[in-house]
Amino acid sequence: MSSNTVTGGECPFSFLFQNIFNNHMLDVNVRWLAVLYFKNGIDRYWRRVAPHALSEEEKTSLRAGLITNFNEPINQIATQIAVLIAKVARLDCPRQWPELIPILLESVKGHDGLLQHRALLTFYHVTKTLASKRLAQDRRLFQDLASGIYSFACSLWSHHTDCFLQQVCARDEAAALNSLERTLLSLKVLRKLTVHGFQDPQQNMEVMGFLNAVFERLKQFLECCKYFPLFLT
């Protein structure tokens, strides 16, 4: 069945797709297709001027449902949900969706490992998408966002880096790999914030502090290379 046949401009299908991919009891392939259909419908039905556009009330309800699903157990589906949230954020954040970033920041600070990872994954995709906008007003909004969350993003990266280095030295392979993935996601967020969030990053003390910290961390990573054969056996 084609996406045109499934969606057909009927708004209720968006809620149906959301209910399907949020239901962890359903078949993975069915849930995967539901995420893809929902994601592909964003460009066609989310803008106010689009034919058969979703109403503001419907979009508010759908957005609320999207940020309650940070416990997705399937990696591939979690990535698609993160991309889906980012597509909506590109159109609605921060004006129509001001709660998105605060909820993501609060979630990545949680102690639940799965929820923390999914929120961080979403945080990266949202940051990446917002950084790609090129209108002057959008760039100013992203710069405001960057100045507000840069310190937090740096502390997040530093925390996960510390955890990774400690776990490597302790030869805790599973924990180290999990921390490494979070370290990389945090670093990707910082890369977008650093490059696109400041007009003169070289004049910003926080940015220069982060860049100096990167070189210090490289030395620590090199010191840990002697433990890496453990992960290859």
Q: In sequence order, what DSSP letters do the residues of the chain get, joined into one string? A: --HHHHHTT-THHHHHHHHHHT-TTS-HHHHHHHHHHHHHHHHHHSSTTSTTPPPHHHHHHHHHHHTT-TT---HHHHHHHHHHHHHHHHHHTTTT-TTHHHHHHHHHTSS-HHHHHHHHHHHHHHHHHHHT--SHHHHHHHHHHHHHHHHHHHHHHHHHHHHHHHHHHTT-HHHHHHHHHHHHHHHHHHHHHHHHS-SSGGG-HHHHHHHHHHHHHHHHHHHGGGGTHHHH-
pTM of the model: 0.90
Query: 153-197 pLDDT, tens per residue?
Result: 999 999 999 999 999 888 888 999 999 999 999 999 999 999 999
The CA–CA distances, whole Å, from 77 to 35, 84, 91, 158, 217 equal 7, 10, 22, 28, 32
pLDDT at 8: 40
Kindly report, residue by residue over 156-167, the tens digit of the pLDDT.
Answer: 999 999 999 999
Distance, CA of 107 to CA of 167 (rounded, Å): 23
Domain boundaries, the chain: 142-233
| C-beta separation of 23 from 61 below 8 A | no
**pLDDT of 1 strictly over 60:** no
% of the chain surpassing 90 pLDDT: 77
Q: Please report the pLDDT score of residue 227 as a whole number.
A: 64
Task: Report the distance separating Cα 89 and Cα 93, nearest Å.
Answer: 5
26 has pLDDT over 50: yes
Which tens digits make up the pLDDT trace of 81-112?
A: 999 999 999 999 999 999 999 999 999 998 89
Report pLDDT for 156: 96
For residue 223, pLDDT beyond 60? yes
